[in-house]
Structure 1
């Protein structure tokens, strides 16, 4: 997992070509002007989802992980708490959904706060619990870029 400010994005462009493409897309486009929805960048290899939601209490959160995609989550407005744990330290809550590339998990992990102008990169081994309220529930606008790796 990586968490950093968008101003430092150039530092991460050599990690992987797909991740670099996703990060450049964030850097080169004003995503704040996009409406909620899904946008293709490079077919199933790279796509963008714009989300707008109200954060929720931690007891309503769910651990999730993906096998085929890396998530690049960029906060455009608001602030949220996010959980992080290695998938090997958690237990599956349900069967892996290959169509949606998601498995929900049980267990515990660490938490951090991410705010406007920051991004997080979650690899397949990085279970995460997004959308958790920081102190009080608030509205968040987020861009999630999905990068196909498998």
Structure 2
């Protein structure tokens, strides 16, 4: 996983070109003004899901990982905690190919808090639980770029 802020993109010159495309797309488009939904950038190779939801307690959330896509979570408005653990430390459920969804069970070994402009890149080994409230529930808006592996 990689955690950073878009203000410091110069520090991430080592990132794969597909990930850099996401930041280029962000810089060329007003994602905050987009309605919730999925937006194609380059077919199934690269797209972005703009989501809005109210954060909640971990008891109301679930663990997941992906095999076919990287996730790049980019906070547009609000604050959200994402819990993290490596999938090898967790009980893995049956992979659902059509949804690129690997359900997981287990405990976190770290967390990050995303504020405006923060991003988190999750690779296939990175289990993650999103939408966790920081202090109290709040509505957030986030872009989740899906990058085909």
**TM, length-normalised to structure 1:** 0.94
The residue aligned with 2:73 is 73
Distance apart, 1:54 and its partner CA: 0.4
The residue aligned with 1:104 is 103
Q: Distance in 2 between matches of 1:38 and 1:11?
A: 29
Q: Provide the alpha-carbon RMSD of the alignment.
A: 1.1
The residue aligned with 1:53 is 53
| Helix, strand or coil at the partner of 1:19 | helix
Count of residue correspondences? 148
Unaligned runs of 5+ in 1: none
Q: Distance in 1 between matches of 2:129 and 2:117?
A: 19
Distance apart, 1:20 and its partner CA: 1.4
Unaligned runs of 5+ in 2: none
Encode CA deviations 1:78-102: one digit per residue, 9 max, x unaligned.
Answer: 101110111101112x311101101
Distance apart, 1:13 and its partner CA: 4.3
User: Where in structure 2 are the equivalents of 1:9-88 lying within 5 Å?
Assistant: 9-88=9-88
Is the contact made by 1:50 and 1:143 (CA closer than 8 Å) also made in structure 2?
Answer: yes
| Helix, strand or coil at the partner of 2:97 | coil
Q: Distance in 1 between matches of 2:28 and 2:59?
A: 37
